[in-house]
Structure 1
Amino acid sequence: MKKFLLAATSTALLAGALALPAVAQNVAIVNGKPVPKTRLDALEAQIKAQAARTGQPVPPDVEKQLREELIAREIFMQEAQRRGIEGTSEYRDMLELARQSVMINALFADYQKKNAVTDAEAKAEYDRIVGSRTPAAGAKEFKARHILVEKEDEAKAIIAQLKKGGKFEDIAKKQSKDPGSGAQGGDLGWANPSGYVPEFAQALGKLGKGQMTDAPVKSQFGWHVIRVDDVREAKAPEVPPFEQVKPQVVQQLQQQKLAKFQEELRAKAKVE
């Protein structure tokens, strides 16, 4: 009897030991059907690759989230199969579209892998962007205020009121139709004239510090009364260091390369 018990125990332990690897290979078993861990590994690899491309962090509990996602997918798949959805023409059409999407995404991933953006390319693009933001020699910035009204007569009346000693800020708060600057007494802050509509920019460029338009300025928004509070030499905007924005620059160049690749394929294709 003792030998029999020992043999039975040994058999049970051996069976358990053999079963462990099978369990470890599965994320879960749903209604008797195993969900292989290879699916989890593949999905996790996709998430990490996408995070690397976009410079976004991977959630710390990503494996747990993906496990729940795979279990849910298996449950829904089993129900779809039970209902015979695989045999419908709608399913087959959708499956073909999905197959094409997977194949195309794989093509694009392969292209990007073999045509990766180099550090030199990323740095050159960064320098180009910084250079394009550097103002031209002698460029000016204006700290201006304006009052926007609907009719020319209103603007003329405001100019007359200001010439008699009316306070620009108070009139702007009461009468300006510009929701952004009106509440701030018409203050537009510092800006290069090129940032405004042409009519406004042209009038602004003719004014010096402390000067106001003698006549209303018409634009697509209405009639403006403009005053310049100050003028200074244009300054280049502050730009973050290269290493800080490198992931975004690389991503932008990747998109540009991929777009060019797509255009070249489309141009070479014979479409009848």
Structure 2
Amino acid sequence: MNAQLRLCGLVLFLPALLALNACEQNASTADSGEDVRIVARVNDEPISETMLELHVRRRTGKSLDGISADKRETLLLELVEMALIAQDARSNGLADDPRVRARMRNMHYAVLAQAMLEDLKGRAVSEDRMRERFNEAVASGEHSQEFHARHILLRSAEEAREVIEALDDGADFARLARERSHGPTASRGGDLGWVVPGEMVATFGEAIKELEVGEYTHEPIRTRYGHHVIKLEDRREREPPRFEQMTGHLRNELAEERINAYVRDLRQNADVELYRPKNDSDSE
């Protein structure tokens, strides 16, 4: 496809990460002497095949090879239009606007941070380390019981406390879950089925283990998904899983621990200053 692509009135699609930094990055990467295939040029600024690949994956969830030629051209034209708009924004001085520069810097942080965390998560975990963790879990009885639980997922602790008050007043847990829960189990009355606490988010799993059958949590349980109210329906003994059944979970668990330790180490060794906003009391 040559550089004289005809723009055909596409509805503009401006994904946040790409729209603001694509044109800033492409000149330095594509012209840096690397072996990068150029798929278009916009006023002498190149668009690389890698840029197109990322755009295609973001828009379709597929690779370049997984889309039709027409779809490829449509998505390439989107990139061309974004490049044209970004170039015009630069010529109008928007790249020097403090809010625009702040947004671009935030996105710069986000892209690099995500790349680093993906690299850490993708690093190999040794089988010896997984077996060690597996043996620890079996010895502790972590997987010797499974629990039949329900939960109601709320967006705030205040909403969760309202649900707890309703339960205290005799409301039916399953009905409240169908009416109030934001989770995918809402249509099932919050039913999670039989679960193993050690294979769940830590705070959620610990809360389940503390409950008696028929009891629900009287304080919201917070996870990265929101605030939960949890009810234990039943518990039973189970055969410990085989190591082969647990490798995926163990690998993910150890990778998450590696990431948490990495972030904790960065914090401990960084020179960070936090500035509180000034208020009237500060000036007195």
TM-score of Structure 1 vs Structure 2, range by shorter chain:
0.3 to 0.5
**What TM-score, normalized by structure 1, do the two folds share?**
0.41
Report which structure shows greater RCO (CA 8 Å, sep ≥6): 1
**What TM-score, normalized by structure 2, do the two folds share?**
0.40
